[in-house]
Chain A
Amino acid sequence: MDDAAFDRMLRICRLRLSGSERDRIKADIDKVITYFDTIESVDCDGYSPAYQPVEMPARTREDRTDVFRESDRLLKNSKTYRFYMVGPKI
């Protein structure tokens, strides 16, 4: 991955790396991607993607409402204002 591509990745991931951390991680990632490239040699023609390892029945939920039993605790993990959760400026 060239520097521009790597920086673009960082931006997409919303990550910022300091100079030395950046160099180290970039070097690691280049190595790992080369390692990932080795799957190219395996011929998987005729095999469909396995999104899950076992077959899954198509389970759905009946359209019914249910109130979460301890709703007052739901927003306890965040900062709130009146009934709202506070988030960063848009």
Chain B
Amino acid sequence: MRSSIDEFEEKEKPDGYYERTLKELSDMNQKFHIFSRMPQSMEHGFQFSVKDNICVDGVESSASAEILEGYVPPFDATAVERMRGRGFSFIGKTKMDEFGFGTFGINCAEHPLNPINPEYVTGGSSAGAAAATAVMKYHVAIAESTGGSISCPAAFCGVVGFTPTYGLVSRYGLIDYANSLDKIGIMARRSADIRHVFDVIKGSDRYDTTCIDREVNADKRTKLIIVDQLMQNIDQAVLSAFDRFTSKLESRGYEVVHRSIPFIEKAIPAYYIISTAEASTNLAKYTGFKYGKKTEDFSQGYNEFFTEARSSLGTEAKRRVILGTFVRSASVKSKYYEKALRLRRMLIEAMGNVLSEGFIISPTMPIMPPKVEEAAGLDPVKAYSMDSITVPPNLAGFPHISFPYDYSGDFPMGAQLITSHFNDYALMDFAGAWEEDFEYRFKYNVGSL
């Protein structure tokens, strides 16, 4: 299928098109709280939105965190700079869980609501990015995933969400959550759009040491692997739909096999140990005077001043800062932080072996999108366990894509496909082939032509 970018370029834009589109989008934003910032007028061109934790020069970029309110970076993130350089038009900053801390997109002020039904969550943490993609016809979202923050909302909002191999897209300009896990990725309505944008934003950057310049492969796999341990604790409705999906794929010539990675469920605690340890160091810089929300009384001692400033961190942020500080304390570091890093190495090897045989396929999320109150009522361990399928590829840096494979009522069901490091194109090829005879459904088409 052609990309919407090519399609958009060829189509005639009627008079007042951009004004009308911006108006419609503002109405959507009123309803679903998608953007934290939108421009006054719309630049002419194909639109891209940017997750609020990615810096846009001159535009408030607060990672939807109260403590960072008012931070206006004087530089563009590399991904943003490259998008602008290729003629894409910036449409706004999309809301997210504070600093990326959340699975449902509800950990921020006026959190986004699912455009399919606003009683339900969008999924997180790239919540606004998924919602924007779900409502806008000609648009791509620059999003970010640390432990599943692209796959989850993409699945809940019925869009395609791609998370590249760790290191292929520069993190320069990304407000860090967990540096060894953070990956800038893309959400769109078509795989072809993702491929187009991926080619724009990937590649070596002199401002990010961990950004790798290397060839990306498109090695087709004919085997689809179901890792049994990833299929535990999945809702029955999701399981049955997924079974129908894999049967359909079998009929198209894919071989579906089962494999076992017994310790893969331990990826979740290992992920939360590493991510909170890194996050607790990243969030130490927010002390109320350099940027973001200001603490007024300079004359109190600096410790008091910092403590006062840091009270505006959200509950989940405080939880993660405390947890992260604990797991890296000298006396327990080898038990938690270092052990988790070893477990990561073991997971990279085990998943790598399986992935050399074929794609790992699964539902993206173990549940259908919950209602906002249901999600808010979950205790942290339960909430963290919702990431059971999205965390493993994120922890091990494997590229993955989530795309709609079925619908249950109005709600989409997302499948997640994982492949080996640097085989990113194969994911887009797979999803692209799927899209040839499975049409994604969108309730809104703001800006259609």
Please say whether the chains A and B touch (CB closer than 8 A). Answer: yes
Chain A residues close to B by CB (< 8 Å): 1, 6, 9-10, 12-17, 21, 25, 28-29, 31-33, 35-36, 38-42, 44, 47-54, 56-57, 59, 61, 68, 70, 73-74, 76-79, 85-90
Q: Report whether A9 and B322 are in contact in the complex, using a CB–CB cutoff of 8 Å.
A: yes
A45 to B52, CA, bound (A): 40
State whether A16 touches B307 (Cβ < 8 A): yes
Residues 39 to 70 of chain B near chain A (Cβ within 8 Å): 70
Q: Report yes or no: B323 in contact with A32, Cβ–Cβ below 8 A.
A: yes
Is B356 close to A, CB under 8 A? Answer: no
Check B294 for interface membership: any CB of A closer than 8 A: yes
The residue of chain A having its C-beta at the shortest distance from the C-beta of B204 within the complex is: A59
B209/A50 in contact, CB under 8 A: no
Beta-carbon contact of B396 and A87 below 8 Å:
no
Let me know if B210 is at the binding interface, CB within 8 A.
yes
Let me know if B380 is at the binding interface, CB within 8 A: yes
Mostly, the B contact residues are helix
Contact of A42 with B343 at beta-carbon distance under 8 Å, contacts A15-B313, A33-B323 already known: yes
Contact partners of A44 in chain B: CB under 8 A: 339, 342-343, 345-346
Q: Does B303 contact A (CB under 8 A)?
A: yes
The contact sample of 20 A-B pairs, CB cut-off 8 A, is A1-B326, A14-B307, A15-B310, A25-B319, A29-B326, A39-B273, A39-B336, A42-B343, A47-B346, A48-B345, A49-B342, A53-B166, A68-B74, A70-B74, A77-B71, A78-B289, A79-B289, A85-B290, A88-B304, A90-B301
Q: Is the Cβ of B270 less than 8 Å from the Cβ of A39?
A: yes
Q: Check B23 for interface membership: any CB of A closer than 8 A.
A: no
A52 to B435, CA, bound (A): 33
Distance of B273 from chain A, by nearest CB (Å): 6
CA distance A32 to B209 in the complex (A): 33
Query: Which residues of the other chain, A, contact B269 by a CB distance below 8 angstroms?
Result: 35-36, 38-39
Interface residues of B (CB under 8 A from A): 70-72, 74, 165-167, 180-181, 206, 209-210, 212, 263, 266, 269-270, 272-273, 280, 287-292, 294-295, 298-308, 310-311, 313, 315, 318-319, 321-323, 325-327, 335-336, 338-346, 348-349, 379-381, 384, 395-398, 421
Instruction: Point out which of A29, A31, A44, A74 has the most chain B C-beta atoms below 10 A from its C-beta.
Output: A44
Structural contact, B343 and A39, CB atoms closer than 8 A: yes
When distances are taken between beta carbons in the complex, the residues of chain A under 8 Å from B323 are 29, 32-33, 36
Specify which chain A residues have a CB less than 8 angstroms from the CB of B289 in the assembled complex.
78-79, 85-88
C-alpha gap A19/B162 in the complex (Å): 42
Q: Are A25 and B315 in contact (CB under 8 A)?
A: yes
Contact of A36 among B72, B273, B310, B318 (CB under 8 A): B273
Interchain CB contact under 8 A, B338 and A49: yes
Q: Which residues of B contact A77 (CB under 8 A)?
A: 70-72, 290-292
The 8 closest A-B pairs by CB, nearest first: A53-B397, A49-B341, A88-B305, A44-B342, A77-B291, A50-B345, A73-B74, A88-B302
A38 to B307 Cα, complex, angstroms:
32
Given A53-B396, A90-B302, 14 more A-B residue pairs with CB atoms under 8 Å apart are A15-B318, A15-B321, A29-B326, A42-B266, A42-B346, A47-B343, A48-B342, A49-B342, A51-B180, A53-B166, A54-B165, A54-B167, A61-B206, A88-B304
Residues from chain A with Cβ under 8 Å of B70 in the complex: 77
Chain A residues with CB under 8 A of B270: 39
